[in-house]
Structure 1
Amino acid sequence: MLSTGLPQGAVPKLERPGPLRDRVYEALLELITTRALQPGQHLVESELAGHLGVSRQPVREALQRLNTEGWVDLRPAQGAFVHEPTEDEADQLLTVRALLEAEAARLAAANADEAGIDALDELVAQGLKAVASSDVNRAVALNAAFHAKIMELAGNTVLAELAAQVDRRVQWYYTPVARLRGGQSWTEHRELIAAIADRDEQLATRLMREHTERTRQSYHGRGKS
């Protein structure tokens, strides 16, 4: 285990093809977005290199890229740290996400076929199982897959590309509220599926707006009593 607190077994294996620096980047990004590496956590190049089974150079290159993209902060004379998102950063991104998702829900209600509805139903079933077994990481991944499927059913390539740009950061923000939202989030998903299946564009839009707003409020209210 890393002295910086990385959970045992959390380090992904670098088995995918491609340049080593890219594979290290993807591995570190996965650890950050799942919060195996926590916001504010010190990232020691030698320890990360040892766990990933690589030299320090691709780790250094990956950290520089993550810094450019806002996932990591490089502090002079201190080193690399996982970025700690501010409330404003989260609010801005989740607000943009709400706009994109609401339009996607409307278009999905207009365009979804029976196979698409069935796929959404299956994701909800899997999501409820993940919640029941307290598998937060799987619940977060399935939540992302559900929203990605709605984007796919919307049939708007530009909208999907814009959503993909914020998808990983949305997962990052969603992880700490996944337990708080729990089964309620998936109940809301079911209501949304029903609206899409009924081709009720107005209702689907409203339900998605309410759904994303609840997630935004949960993020800002986490840990508060």
Structure 2
Amino acid sequence: MAGYSSLIRDSKPRVRETSAPKRAGLTVNDLYEHLKEMAVLYTIRPGERVNELELAERFDVSRTPLREALNRLVAENLLTFVPNRGFFVRELHRQDIFDLFELRRSIEASAVQLAVERADVKDVRALRKFWKDTMKHKAQAPAAQLVARDEEFHVRLVALSGNNEMVRTMYGINARIHFVRWIDLEQRGHDAFAEHLDILDAIEARDAKRCRELTETHITWRMEEIAKVVDAGVVRLFSR
């Protein structure tokens, strides 16, 4: 999936130092991708109003395509819109993150059970190779790259179910929890990554019960864990 994952270049969530490209004919899709990256990484701080005039000048576009791109992000719950006030960056609330992880756990646990029934062995083994290759270079890889690769693993895991709606939902969830998972990886390291291969083992063994148990354990976050990561993220955002 082209988008924010491929745009991240270093290991720290921060404002990009390079200016946005200014070129004639910037499409709504182009704007959407740039603005999505800003929303996902909280380039504009949580709760702050989006300055449409500043963005229009920065990207050298009129307000019409800019608003169309912003409205797409509202539909994806990456921004909020308040009538007569404008667009705002979503808040970083503990309960919202907790709810998203519950949703993710539910979707992935159901998806792996379907994968036990439907997945082609070649696809499972290709995903295993992808993750082993990732782990070979994890010590040198920046956190941004590892989070992106982990997101790709989980999307491909869900895709083994053969259910495209589950895959689409996963993309949306990943975008909304991306920043929190980035902060968590920087704090805790790679401990949870080892469980990925266990899940694939269970799929190949066609063991639905073990698949679900491993997946639920892998994704479950307690509220106190989320609170620590969200608090660390807020400190990071408001100290930069």
| Corresponding residue number in structure 1 for 2:228 | 221
Contact 1:40 1:82 in 2 (8 A): yes
Q: Distance in 1 between matches of 2:72 and 2:33?
A: 11
> How far apart in 1 are the matches of 2:85 and 2:18?
27
1:144-190 per-position Cα deviation (integer Å, ceiling 9, x unaligned): 11111111111234433443443422434423323234311211212
Is 1:20 equivalent to 2:27 in the alignment? yes
Q: Structure 1 vs Structure 2: percent identity of aligned residues?
A: 26
Q: Following the alignment from structure 1 to structure 2, what is the Cα–Cα distance between the partners of residues 112 and 149?
A: 11
Q: Of residues 6, 19, 38 in structure 2, which corresponds to 1:31?
A: 38
Contact 1:108–1:154, Cα closer than 8 Å, also in 2:
yes
Cα 1:75–1:144 shift into 2, 3 Å: same
User: How far did residue 124 of structure 1 move?
Assistant: 1.8
Relative to 1, partners in 2 of residues 1:164 and 1:73: Cα closer, same or farther, differing over 3 Å? closer
Does residue 186 of the first structure (1) align with residue 193 of the second (2)? yes
1:83 aligns with one of 90, 98, 103: 90
State which of 7, 15, 30 in structure 1 corresponds to 2:16.
7
Q: How many residues align?
A: 217
TM-score under structure 1 length normalisation: 0.77
Change (3 A) 1:122 1:43: farther
Q: Which has the higher contact order (CA 8 A, sep 6+)?
A: 2
Cα distance in 1 between the residues matched to 2:120 and 2:110: 17
Q: Please report how far the alpha carbon of residue 215 of structure 1 lies from its aligned counterpart in structure 2 after TM superposition.
A: 8.1
- Would you say the 8 A contact 2:124–2:160 is kept in 1? no
CA RMSD of aligned residues (A): 3.3
Paired position in structure 2 for 1:104: 111
2-structure distance, mates of 1:49, 1:75: 19
Unaligned 5+ residue runs, structure 1?
none
Length-normalised TM-score, structure 2: 0.73
Aligned residue for 1:150? 157
Residue 57 of structure 1 deviates from its aligned partner by 4.0
